Amino acid sequence: MFNNYSKILFLSTLVTGTLITLSSTSWISAWMGLEINLLSFIPLMNNSNNLMSAETALKYFLTQAIASSIFFLATILSAMKMNPAIDLHYHFPNLLISVSLMIKMGAAPFHFWFPNIIEGLTWTNSLILMIWQKIAPLILISYIFNMNFLIYFIITSALVGALGGLNQTSLRKLMAFSSINHMSWMLMAMQESNKSWMIYFLFYSFLSTAVILLFNYFKLSQLNQLFSMFSNSNILKFSFFINLLSMGGLPPFFGFFPKWMVIQNLLLTHQMFMTFLLISSSLITLFFYLRICYSAFMIGTTEMNWNYFSQFNKTLINYTTLFTFTSIMGMPLITLIYIYL
Q: Choose among 296, 284, 288, 282: nearest CA to 168.
A: 288
What predicted TM-score, i.e. pTM, was given to this entire model?
Answer: 0.89
Residue 22 clears pLDDT 80, i.e. is over it? yes
Cβ–Cβ under 8 Å, residues 34 and 136: yes
Integer angstrom CA distances of residue 50 from 38, 44, 53: 20, 12, 6
Bond into 115 cis (ω within 30): no
Rounded to the nearest 10°, the torsion over CA 175, 331, 272, 108 is: -20
Is the bond into 93 cis (omega within 30 degrees of 0)? no
For 24-65, how does the pLDDT look when each residue is reduced to its tens digit (9 = 90+)? 988 999 999 999 999 999 999 887 666 778 888 999 999 999
Average pLDDT, integer, range 249-273: 88
At 136, the amino acid letter reads A
Q: Please provide the DSSP assignment of 268-296 as one string.
A: HTT-HHHHHHHHHHHHHHHHHHHHHHHHH
| Cβ proximity of 169 and 289 under 8 Å | no
**Is-contact 28 75, C-beta < 8 A?**
yes
Share of residues in the chain with pLDDT > 70 (%)? 79
pLDDT one-digit tens code per residue, 159-216: 999 999 888 888 899 999 999 999 999 999 998 888 889 989 998 998 898 888 888 8
Task: Select from 21, 60, 24 the least CA-distant residue to 42.
Answer: 60
Closest CA to 172 of 122, 206, 131: 122
pLDDT at res. 72: 92
User: Which comes out higher in pLDDT, residue 235 or 45?
Assistant: 45
Higher pLDDT, 298 or 202: 202
Q: Quick one: DSSP state of residue 223? A: G
List the domain boundaries for the chain.
Answer: 2-340
Lowest mean pLDDT among 71-85, 94-108, 125-139: 71-85
Query: What phi and psi, each to the nearest 5 degrees, are found at residue 219?
Result: 55, 45
State yes or no: pLDDT of 23 exceeds 60: yes
- Bridge partners (DSSP) listed for residue 222: 170
Sign of CA dihedral 227, 207, 177, 42: negative
The CB-based long-range contact list for 251-254 (8 Å cut-off, 24+ gap) reads: 251/331, 252/331, 252/332, 253/327, 253/328, 253/330, 253/331, 254/203, 254/206, 254/207, 254/326, 254/327, 254/328, 254/330, 254/331, 254/334
Measured CA to CA, the distance from residue 118 to residue 113 in angstroms comes to 9
